[in-house]
Chain A
């Protein structure tokens, strides 16, 4: 089961929960699982079946470069973060 850290702006959907444990072998599956438990989350983080532009996701503090296909481990921690680049 992966531990998902819920961004403050989505906590209304999780009844205030900051961390939620769900099953899923990829980011895509984790989001599907989240959606099942807390309907509405999916639309907030995805657009056209991809991560929303400007949003990234990290698995165990490593930014996923494979989007929804990124593998998630049994004990992984999943964090939604803004996508950034520099100058």
Chain B
């Protein structure tokens, strides 16, 4: 039996029918066409599928789609303001904080959640907060710098 799910996704009301078994990640990618959230491990260990669910950063691969009924979800597609980029996205580009880019959506969403909670994180804050997001290309150096720079202060002051 299919479940009727009503939710707010990236500020827009959304309704869809799904089996109970797909994850939120599958629903986003397959039902709603939002393929920015990536599957890296499908068991909550890499962060590539990160979304913000009712204000909390979660791995969408270990949320069942029906669980979001009535909830608000922000995906990577909902981070940028109309016609531009969020500071985090801009700083990722300026700092060359991505190589293959497949982990990048997860990092952008996680960094957004971090800055929502803590507008001026230290390097230690950022490393702890982003530890659930695996990147295999960059060694995290430039990612951390981009995130710290996204506070609009400079990293030396906040570290």
Physical contact A–B (CB less than 8 Å): no
Q: Which residues of A contact B (CB under 8 A)?
A: none
